[in-house]
C-alpha cells in the first residue's frame, strides 16, 4: 500500500506539527514500534491501557510477512490479507477461461484450495540486538568505507551462521539509519494455497478514482492457507474475530510490516527526495503507465495479463504525485529545519558533543553530492530487474548472479545472494508460472528504451545490450529465443554454475551477463560513496538524538514487524465532518450515483443479494493508526487482541506519514470485521470459512 496526499488544511496541520516536533515525547498516536520495545508508557498515559502478559507475544506469532502484511486467523493456518496483496497470485492462477480476478474464488473444502507457485510467507520468531557485534567488526579508526565494508561482511556472516544453527530465515536489519542493528529470525512457509478471494470489482470498487479517498466501499480481502508436509499447518497462536466490531473512540492496534519511512532524514536528505528521487520516479511512472494503457487497449487478453502491472504503476504514480506536492510545501520544510536546528544547537552547546557529532550533517551533504553524480546509472543498473520488469530477464539475472556469487563466502556476496536470501531466490526461480510473451516484450522494450534515453545510444553498455537493433526489435528477439520458460531448463542451467553461464547461447542469459558487471560496479560505488558514509553520519546523528531526547521514538520502518496504536476517529474536510464508518447501503448509493458504470459496478454476487444485506452494516472505517506502504493486510485488533478490521489504505492526507506523523486529517482506512463476516455469509455463501474464523 502506497499513499497520496494533497495540500490543504495547512494552518491547522503546521500549527500541530511544529510544537510537537520540538517536544521531547512523540505525539499521542505516533509510532511504528518495535515488538521488543513497545510503547507501554505512552499507552498507559494516553489510554490507561497496559497490555496483559503474553498479549504482544501472541500477536507477534499470529502476524505474517509476505509481499506486505497478513495474519493467521484460525488454528489450521488460515491467513487473511488484502485482495490487492494477493493480486499477483490471483493473476498467475488465472487463465482466459478461468479468470479469478474477474469472477473471484472460493474453496469450500481443503482439496479445492489452489497452490500458489513461488509464494512465501514468513512468521517472526525472535529478535536479538546485535549492534555491538556489528560495530565491533569495524576496525578501530577505519574510514567510513572500510568500516561499512567490515560491518556488511559481519551482517552477512551472522545471517549465515544463524541460519545454519537455527534452520530459520535470519536477517540483520539496520535501525535508526544505522545506529542500531537487530537480528530477526523467521519461520518460512512455501506451500501456500488460495482459499478465498472476492471479485476484483468488489475488492477495488471505485478503482483509481476512489484510491486514497474516503468514503470507501472496498471489500479488499483475500484468504490463503499455510501447509507443511502436504497438510494444513497447525497454528495455535492465531487471532480471533470480534463480531461486535468497534465504535468511534475505541483504542485499536495494527501489526504489520511497513516498508520504509524517512522520518529521521536530515533536511538535506528530504531535499534530495524532493528534487531528485521523486521527480525521477514520477517521470518513470507516467511513462510506464502510458505504455501499459496502450498495451492493454489492444485486446482483452493484453488487458488481463497486464492488469497487475497497470494497477501497480497507477498506484505508484498517484502516491508519489501527492508525496511530492507535500514536500514542495515550504511550511513543511521549515518545520523539519526547526527540529534539525534545535538538535544541532544541542550538539554545539557542548564541546565534547560537538567534537563527536558536529560534523555529521556535512558528511550527509557530501554523500548526497556523490549520489547525485551516479543517481541515474544507479537507478538503471543498481537493480535492473526493476527497470526491465521481465520475468524471463529476472530468471536470467538470478541465474547469472547465482553462478557469480555462490562460490564466494556468504558475507562477501551481493546482498541478494547471501545465504539468508538464497531460498527465496530459488523459490522464485523454480516456480512454474505463466509467462505471456506479449507482455514480456512490452516490459523489456520499455526497459531497453529507458536505458537508451538515459545513458545515450552511444554508451558502450547500451551498444552491447542492443546488439545493433532498436529496443522493441531487440526485446522481441530476446523473448522469442529465450529458453528459460520451464523450470527444468532453469534448474539445468543453475546446476552447471559458472561454466553453464559462460557457454550458454540463450540471449537473455547473455543480456544478463552483460549487465551484471555494470550492476556490481555501480552498487559498489553506491555502497562506498553513499550508503557507507550516510550510515556513519547517521550513527552520529542518532547518538546525538538519543542524548537529546532518549530512545523514546521508534526507528524508521524497515519492512519488519511493527506495532501501531490509535483510536477509531473521523476528521473534518472543508469544515464538514467526515463520518467514521461507511455502510453496505452506501455502496449501492455510490454505485447508483455513478450510473453503476465501471469502476462503480458492484459484482452480480452483491447486486443479486442486495435485499439480503443489512444496509446499515458498517463497511469500512477510519482510525489514527500510524501506517504506510507495506501495512496492507495488517490486522486491526482491539485491546483483547481480537480482529476488528483489516488495513487496506490511507486517505489523501496520510501521504505525509512517510516523512512525519500528523493526526488532524490523516487517517488509516480499514475493512470492518462486521462487513467481512456479513459478506462471507450472505454474498459468498462461505459458511465453512466463517465457522473457521469465528470458532473459539
* Tens digit of each residue's pLDDT (9 = 90 or more) over 28-54: 688 999 999 999 999 999 999 999 999
Tell me, yes or no, whether 96 and 143 share the same domain.
Answer: no
Domain membership of residue 139 (yes or no) is yes
Checking if the pLDDT of 162 tops 70, the result is yes
Task: Give the model's confidence band at 323: pLDDT under 50 very low, under 70 low, under 90 confident, else very high.
Answer: confident
Q: CA-to-CA distance for 618 and 579, rounded, in angstroms?
A: 11
Q: Can the peptide bond before residue 194 be classed as cis, meaning omega within 30 degrees of 0?
A: no
Task: For residue 483, give the C-alpha cell.
Answer: 529458453
pLDDT in tens, 232-277: 999 999 999 998 999 999 999 999 999 999 999 999 999 999 999 9
Q: CA-to-CA distance for 227 and 195, rounded, in angstroms?
A: 12
Tell me, yes or no, whether 19 and 69 share the same domain.
Answer: yes
Query: For all residues of the chain together, what is the average pLDDT?
Result: 92
Tell me, yes or no, whether 374 and 452 share the same domain.
Answer: yes
Q: CA-to-CA distance for 12 and 28, rounded, in angstroms?
A: 17
Tell me, yes or no, whether 177 and 229 share the same domain.
Answer: no
Checking if the pLDDT of 2 tops 70, the result is no
Domain membership of residue 541 (yes or no) is no
* Nearest by Cα to 188 from 492, 426, 488: 426
Domain membership of residue 394 (yes or no) is yes
Mean pLDDT of 67-73: 96
Tell me, yes or no, whether 366 and 460 share the same domain.
Answer: yes
Tell me, yes or no, whether 578 and 604 share the same domain.
Answer: yes
Tell me, yes or no, whether 385 and 255 share the same domain.
Answer: no
Mean pLDDT of 371-384: 93
Which domain does 584 fall in, by range?
A: 10-120+190-264+555-694
Checking if the pLDDT of 389 tops 90, the result is no
Domain membership of residue 167 (yes or no) is yes
pLDDT in tens, 168-191: 999 999 998 888 999 999 999 999
Q: What is the pLDDT of residue 28?
A: 62
Q: CA-to-CA distance for 523 and 515, rounded, in angstroms?
A: 12
- Confirm if 237 and 58 have CB atoms less than 8 A apart: yes
Q: What SS3 class is residue 60?
A: helix
Q: What SS3 class is residue 353?
A: helix
Tell me, yes or no, whether 674 and 597 share the same domain.
Answer: yes
pTM for the whole structure: 0.89
pLDDT in tens, 660-693: 888 888 999 999 999 999 999 999 999 999 999 9
pLDDT in tens, 408-452: 998 888 888 988 888 889 989 998 889 999 999 999 999 999 999
Q: What is the pLDDT of residue 630?
A: 95
Check residues 658 and 70 and name the one with the higher pLDDT: 70
Q: What is the pLDDT of residue 8?
A: 33
Checking if the pLDDT of 11 tops 80, the result is no
Domain membership of residue 548 (yes or no) is no
Beta bridge partners of 194: 114, 224
Q: What is the pLDDT of residue 326?
A: 80
Q: CA-to-CA distance for 628 and 212, rounded, in angstroms?
A: 12
Tell me, yes or no, whether 319 and 223 share the same domain.
Answer: no
Domain membership of residue 455 (yes or no) is yes
Q: Residue 602: which CATH number?
A: 2.40.10.120
Tell me, yes or no, whether 593 and 529 share the same domain.
Answer: no
Q: What is the pLDDT of residue 18?
A: 35
Domain membership of residue 59 (yes or no) is yes
pLDDT in tens, 496-514: 999 999 999 999 999 999 9
Tell me, yes or no, whether 670 and 688 share the same domain.
Answer: yes
Task: Give the model's confidence band at 315: pLDDT under 50 very low, under 70 low, under 90 confident, else very high.
Answer: confident
How many structural domains does the chain have?
Answer: 3
Tell me, yes or no, whether 130 and 100 share the same domain.
Answer: no
Sign of the CA dihedral with 385 first, then 389, 392, and 393 last: negative
Checking if the pLDDT of 3 tops 50, the result is no
pLDDT in tens, 79-123: 999 999 999 999 999 998 999 999 999 999 999 999 999 899 999
Element (H, E) at 201: helix 200-203
Amino acid at each position: 500500500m502506497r499513499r497520496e496526499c494533497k495540500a490543504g488544511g495547512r494552518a491547522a496541520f503546521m500549527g500541530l506539527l511544529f510544537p510537537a516536533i520540538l517536544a521531547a515525547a512523540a505525539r499521542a498516536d505516533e509510532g511504528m514500534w518495535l515488538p521488543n520495545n513497545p510503547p507501554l508508557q505512552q499507552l498507559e498515559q494516553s489510554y490507561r491501557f497496559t497490555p496483559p502478559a503474553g498479549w504482544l507475544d501472541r500477536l507477534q506469532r499470529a502476524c505474517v510477512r509476505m509481499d506486505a502484511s497478513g495474519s493467521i486467523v484460525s488454528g489450521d493456518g488460515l491467513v487473511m490479507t488484502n485482495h490487492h496483496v494477493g493480486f499477483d497470485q490471483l493473476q498467475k492462477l488465472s487463465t482466459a477461461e478461468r479468470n479469478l480476478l474477474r469472477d473471484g474464488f472460493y474453496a469450500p473444502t481443503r482439496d479445492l484450495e489452489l497452490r500458489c507457485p513461488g509464494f512465501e510467507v514468513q512468521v517472526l520468531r525472535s529478535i536479538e540486538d546485535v549492534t555491538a557485534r556489528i560495530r565491533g567488526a569495524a576496525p578501530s579508526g577505519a574510514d567510513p568505507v572500510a568500516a561499512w565494508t567490515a560491518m556488511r561482511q559481519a551482517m552477512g556472516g551472522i545471517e549465515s551462521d544463524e541460519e545454519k544453527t537455527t534452520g530459520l530465515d535470519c536477517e540483520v536489519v539496520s535501525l535508526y539509519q544505522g545506529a542500531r542493528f537487530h537480528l530477526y529470525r523467521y519461520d518460512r512457509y512455501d506451500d501456500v494455497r488460495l482459499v478465498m478471494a472476492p471479485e476484483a470489482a468488489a475488492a477495488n470498487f471505485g478503482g483509481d478514482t476512489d484510491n486514497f479517498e474516503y468514503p470507501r466501499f472496498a471489500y479488499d480481502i483475500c484468504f490463503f492457507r499455510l501447509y507443511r508436509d502436504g497438510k494444513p499447518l497447525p497454528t495455535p497462536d492465531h487471532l480471533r474475530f470480534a463480531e461486535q466490531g468497534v465504535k468511534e473512540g475505541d483504542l485499536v492496534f495494527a501489526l504489520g510490516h511497513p516498508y520504509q519511512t524517512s522520518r529521521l532524514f536530515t533536511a538535506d536528505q528530504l531535499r534530495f527526495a524532493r528534487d531528485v528521487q521523486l521527480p525521477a520516479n514520477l517521470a518513470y511512472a507516467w511513462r510506464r503507465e502510458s505504455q501499459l494503457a496502450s498495451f492493454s487497449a489492444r485486446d482483452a487478453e493484453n488487458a488481463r495479463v497486464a492488469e497487475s502491472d497497470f494497477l501497480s504503476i497507477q498506484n505508484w504514480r498517484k502516491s508519489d504525485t501527492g508525496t511530492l506536492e507535500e514536500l514542495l510545501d515550504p511550511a513543511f520544510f521549515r518545520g523539519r529545519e526547526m527540529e534539525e536546528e534545535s538538535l544541532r544547537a544541542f550538539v554545539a552547546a557542548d564541546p565534547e558533543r560537538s567534537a563527536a557529532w558536529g560534523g555529521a550533517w556535512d558528511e550527509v551533504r557530501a554523500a548526497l553530492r556523490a549520489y547525485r553524480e551516479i543517481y541515474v546509472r544507479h537507478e538503471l543498473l543498481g537493480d535492473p530487474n526493476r527497470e526491465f520488469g521481465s520475468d524471463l530477464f529476472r530468471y536470467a539475472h538470478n541465474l547469472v548472479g547465482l553462478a557469480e556469487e555462490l562460490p564466494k563466502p556468504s558475507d562477501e556476496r551481493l546482498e541478494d545472494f547471501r545465504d539468508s536470501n538464497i531460498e527465496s531466490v530459488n523459490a522464485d526461480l523454480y516456480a512454474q508460472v505463466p509467462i505471456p510473451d506479449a507482455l514480456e516484450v512490452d516490459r523489456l522494450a520499455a526497459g531497453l528504451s529507458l536505458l537508451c534515453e538515459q545513458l545515450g545510444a552511444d554508451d558502450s553498455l547500451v551498444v552491447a545490450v542492443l546488439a545493433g537493433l532498436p529496443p522493441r526489435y531487440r526485446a522481441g528477439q530476446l523473448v522469442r529465443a529465450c529458453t528459460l520458460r520451464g523450470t527444468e531448463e532453469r534448474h539445468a542451467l543453475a546446476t552447471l554454475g559458472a561454466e553453464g553461464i559462460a557457454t550458454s547461447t540463450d540471449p537473455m542469459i547473455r543480456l544478463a551477463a552483460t549487465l551484471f558487471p555494470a550492476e556490481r560496479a555501480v552498487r559498489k560505488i553506491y555502497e562506498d560513496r553513499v550508503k557507507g558514509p550516510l550510515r556513519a553520519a547517521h550513527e552520529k546523528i542518532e547518538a546525538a538524538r538519543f542524548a537529546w531526547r532518549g530512545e523514546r521514538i521508534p526507528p524508521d520502518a524497515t519492512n519488519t514487524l511493527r506495532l501501531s496504536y490509535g483510536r477509531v476517529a473521523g476528521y473534518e474536510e472543508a469544515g464538514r465532518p467526515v463520518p467514521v464508518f461507511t455502510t453496505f447501503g452506501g455502496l449501492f448509493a455510490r454505485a447508483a450515483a455513478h450510473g453503476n458504470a465501471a469502476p462503480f459496478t458492484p459484482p452480480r454476487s452483491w447486486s443479486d443479494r442486495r435485499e439480503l444485506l443489512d444496509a446499515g452494516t458498517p463497511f469500512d472505517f477510519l482510525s489514527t493508526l500510524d501506517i504506510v506502504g507495506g501495512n496492507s493486510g495488517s490486522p486491526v485488533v482491539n485491546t483483547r487482541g481480537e480482529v476488528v478490521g483489516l488495513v487496506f489504505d490511507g486517505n489523501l492526507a496520510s501521504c505525509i506519514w512517510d516523512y512525519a506523523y500528523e493526526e488532524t486529517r490523516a487517517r488509516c482506512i480499514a475493512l470492518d470485521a462486521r462487513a467481512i463476516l456479513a459478506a462471507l455469509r450472505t454474498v459468498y455463501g462461505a459458511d465453512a470459512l466463517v465457522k473457521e474464523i469465528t470458532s473459539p
